[in-house]
Amino acid sequence: MPHKTFVTHLECSYTGETYEADRVHGLSREGKPLLVRYDLAALGAGLDRETLSARSGGLWKYLELLPVRSEENIISLGEELTPLVDLPDFQAGPGRLMVKDEGRLPTGSFKARGLALAVSMAKELGIKSVAMPTNGNAGAALAAYASRAGIESWVFCPDDTPEINVRETALQGARVWRVNGLINDCGRLVGEGCEEMGWFDFSTLKEPYRIEGKKTMGLELAEQLGWQLPDVILYPTGGGTGLIGMWKAFAELRELGWIGEKLPRMVAVQSSGCAPMVRAFEAGLEHAEPWEDAATVAAGIRVPAAVGDFLILRAVRESGGFAVAVDDERIIEARDRAAADSGFLMCPEGAATLAAYLQEVESGRIRPDESAVLFNCATGLKYPMPSAEERLDCRAALDVEALRGR
């Protein structure tokens, strides 16, 4: 069923050069990500916040703000609105501390948002085979949505990617390969194979529509908070799709007049074992140098070089935010404390945002009276957990001494 769509064109995020909509595009001629542009005046004339809020469901309710032209091309696995969960145990003061729990999405991570859109658009544009490098969750989401769309998918991941990611990706129908390198090495292999294998390159930001999917985090957040954005957003930043997408969402919402002038400070959170954005932010650079020997427990943010680096840095600076690194020990400590004290099992990347919040409240860059939103980007169930090995012998009487002795 056709619905009213408002895409006017695509635009190079670096030069502003325009590109025709409804065509297959990768990067711009400049080698930079393309952004989708909409006729927001026309959109706003026919849609208001109340109509939107009356709709139920997750990201597809924002259809007018998304690029899919024909509803029959929508590939959905039942995306739900993800909840904002308070974390009062960690709240530093009167300002509300919330986590947007993205682990509830299909395939257990927010990669579902980006890939739902990217695969739907691939279907709309007639693409038959796609390939991507991944640290795990993107590959799994691609596999699921591509299989559902009848599109062939090829996935290349570092050989130390969390095991569950590799297996779920294979089980959901992708051809998955373990590579003895990092995600940028996998990306090079994808690039090399495109011509001969007939793949379309689905690398982060090398196709224009994943940003549009991740943008829905910003749309949901605004709507959930009564169109009043929080003071600070802490985002675990790898390729930066989500941070860039949310910043784009806020710009569109502001142009529509649906939110006020005040926007959140965007904080890019990285691990100190892989912090190219933090280094570039602190050096005042527009682009980030690749990070050597990247290593962190937070696999999803182990991205040594990002094609959208300047967009991440631009959003962080325009918003008055900052980029910050946290140590792996503090990430794991935050994960363990959130689980034990608040009953909230976070993924390491999500826990990195909690660790960063605590660290920056201490440093004073975040005030205790400010409202802050963290992102738990994947279900904590996908990651290795500490073992629990206490055992009882059921052939004997209950060993109360052993229970008490723990």
Query: Tokens 């005030």 sit at which residue?
Result: 367
Q: By CB under 6 A, is residue 234 in contact with ligand PLP?
A: no
- Contacts with 388 (C-beta within 8 Å, 6 or more apart), sequence order: none
Alpha helices by DSSP H, listed for 14-107, are 40-46, 49-54
Nearest partner of 236 among 324, 348, 349, judged by Cα: 349
Which is nearer to ligand PLP, 312 or 361 (by Cβ)?
312
Site string for ligand PLP, 142-181 (x = CB under 6 A): ----------------------------------------
Which of 405, 402, 344, 397 lies closest to 375, judged by CA? 344
Least separation, in Å, of the C-beta of 396 and ligand PLP? 44
Q: Which residues contact 3 (CB under 8 A, 6 or more apart)?
A: 63, 64, 71
**CB of 260: closest distance to ligand PLP in angstroms?**
26
Binding ligand PLP (rule: CB under 6 A), the pick from 13, 28, 120, 137 is 137
| Region from 42-50, 176-184, 230-238, 270-278 binding ligand PLP, contact rule CB under 6 A | 230-238
Q: How far apart are CA 205 and CA 208, in angstroms?
A: 6
Nearer to ligand PLP, 111 or 123 (CB): 111
Q: Which residues from 333-392 bind ligand PLP, rule CB under 6 A?
A: 347, 349, 377-378
| Span 279-308, contacts to ligand PLP by CB under 6 A | 300-301
Taking CB under 6 A as the criterion, which residues in 236-255 touch ligand PLP? 236-242
Give the separation between CA 312 and CA 10, rounded to whole angstroms: 19
User: Residue 242 CB, nearest distance to ligand PLP (Å)?
Assistant: 4
Closest distance of CB 350 from ligand PLP, Å: 7
Q: Which one of the spans 19-27, 74-82, 231-239, 396-404 is the region binding ligand PLP (CB under 6 A)? A: 231-239
Rounded distance between C-alpha atoms, residue 47 and residue 38, angstroms = 14
Name every residue whose Cβ is closer than 8 Å to that of residue 81 and which is 6 or more positions away in sequence: 57, 58, 220, 224
Structure tokens at 160: 């130390």
Locate the DSSP E strands across 339-383: 372-376
Phi, psi at 40, each rounded to 5°: -70, -25
Q: Contact at 8 Å (CB) between 217 and 242?
A: yes
| Count of residues that interact with ligand PLP, criterion CB under 6 A | 18
Q: Segment near ligand PLP (CB under 6 A), from 1-9, 54-62, 233-241, 256-264?
A: 233-241
CB distance 82 to 116 below 8 Å: no
DSSP for 221-257 reads HHHHTTT---SEEEEE-SS-HHHHHHHHHHHHHHHHT
Of residues 93-122, those binding ligand PLP (CB under 6 A): 109, 111
CB-wise, 47 or 269, nearer to ligand PLP?
269
Please identify, using beta-carbon distances, which residue of 67 and 136 lies nearer to ligand PLP.
136
- What is the closest distance, in whole angstroms, from the C-beta atom of residue 241 to ligand PLP in the complex? 4
- In angstroms, give the least distance from the CB of 226 to ligand PLP: 25
Only one of the segments 32-40, 234-242, 274-282, 362-370 lies at the binding site for ligand PLP (rule: CB under 6 A); that segment is 234-242
How far CA 226 is from CA of 185, 232, 399, in Å, comes to 43, 16, 54
The nearest distance, CB 370 to ligand PLP, in angstroms, is 23
Give CA–CA dist 243/233, Å, rounded: 9
* Best CA proximity match to 106, nearest among 72, 134, 69, 146: 146
Minimum CB–partner distance for residue 404 and ligand PLP (Å):
39
Question: Residue 391 Cβ, how far from ligand PLP at the closest point, in Å?
Answer: 33
- Candidate segments 82-90, 180-188, 232-240, 283-291, binder of ligand PLP by CB under 6 A: 232-240
Residue nearest to ligand PLP (CB): 300
Strand runs labelled E in 88-209? 97-101, 129-133, 152-158, 175-179, 200-201
Q: By C-beta, is 40 or 352 nearer to ligand PLP?
A: 352
Question: Which residues lie near ligand PLP (CB under 6 A)?
Answer: 109, 111, 137-138, 204, 236-242, 300-301, 347, 349, 377-378
